[in-house]
Amino acid sequence: MENKFLNPKNPECIYSVPNVITLIRLIGSLSFFILALLKGNETYNFIGLGIHWFGDMLDGFVARTFKQETVFGAEIDIIADRVEILFFFLNFLHFHPGLYLPVTIYILDFAFFDFYLSYQFIKYDIISPNYFYKVDKTIYKMNYSPTGKFCNSTIVILLLIFLPQLWILAALFAVGLNAVKIYSIGLLHKKHLIDRK
C-alpha cells in the first residue's frame, strides 16, 4: 500500500514529513531546555541536546531517503539548529559559568558565521547546503561534508561536556571553526563577484 505521506516532494513544497520532524524536535528539545532551567537539573539539558542531535539526523535521513528535501525544510532546519544550540548553551553556562570563553567563541561561529554561510544556499540553484559541492567543492568539504558537519556541530560541545578541564583546547578549536567560516565566506564572496562579471 502506497504511503502518500512519504511520496517524493517538489523542492518548493512546504509540507513534508521531515519538516514535521524538525518542528517536533524543536518543540521537544526546547521543552527539556526549559525544564532544565526551571528544575535546576542539568540532566534535562543533556536530554534536550540528545533530542536535537537525534532529530537533526532523522529529519535529514527521511528527507534524503524519501526524496522529500525542500528549500523550506532546509531553511527551518538551519534556524532550528541555532535556536536549539543557543538554548542549550544558555543553560550550560548557567551550570558552568567558568566556561564562558569557549562557549562564546563557539556561539560566534555557529550562530553568526556558520548561519550566514549556510543560508547562502538560497542564492544558488540547490535545495540545501548539503549540495554546496555544486557551488564550490572546497566550501563543501570544509563545512558540509560529513566530516565538516561533525567538526562544526559536535567536537566543541563534546569537549566541553566530557573534558571541561581542556577548555583551552575547546576554545582553540572554536577559533579554528571561526577561521574556516570566515575563509569560506571570503571564497564564496569572491566566487559571487566572478559570477557577476
Contacts of residue 28, defined as CB under 8 A and 6 or more positions apart, other chains included, come to 48, 51, 55
Q: Which of 80, 95, 110 is the last residue of a domain?
A: 95
Question: Which residues neighbour 179 within 8 Å (Cβ) at sequence distance 6 or greater?
Answer: none
Q: How far apart are the C-alpha atoms of 50 and 54, rounded to whole Å?
A: 6
Q: Cα–Cα distance between 91 and 46 in angstroms, integer?
A: 10
pLDDT digits (tens, 9 = 90+) for 58-67: 999 999 999 9
Decide: 109 and 81 in contact? Cβ < 8 Å.
no
pLDDT in tens, 73-122: 999 999 999 999 999 999 999 999 999 999 999 999 999 999 999 999 99
pLDDT in tens, 125-134: 999 999 999 9
- What is the domain extent for residue 50? 1-95
pTM score, two decimals?
A: 0.94
The DSSP result for 125-164, as a single string, is T-SSGGGGGGT-HHHHHHHTSHHHHHHHHTHHHHHHHH-G
Judge if 195 and 104 occupy the same domain.
Answer: yes
CA dihedral 182, 185, 190, 192 (to 10 degrees): -170
**What is the DSSP secondary structure assignment for residue 70, as one 8-state letter?**
-
Same domain, 110 and 88: no
User: Of 95, 111, 131, which residue sits at a domain end?
Assistant: 95
Residues 34 and 47 in one domain: yes
**Amino acid letter for position 81:** D
Centre a 10 Å sphere on the Cβ of residue 65 and count the other Cβ atoms it contains.
Answer: 10
* Opening angle at CA 113, ends 108 and 115, nearest 5: 105
Residue at which a domain ends, from 95, 112, 129: 95
Three-state DSSP at 51 gives helix
The H or E element containing residue 96 is: none
Total domain count, the chain: 2
How many residues would you count in the chain?
A: 197
Task: State pLDDT tens for residues 156-188.
Answer: 999 999 999 999 999 999 999 999 999 999 999
What does the pLDDT look like over 14-53, one tens digit per residue?
A: 989 999 999 999 999 999 999 999 999 999 999 999 999 9
Q: CA angle, corner 50, sides to 47 and 56, nearest 5? A: 140
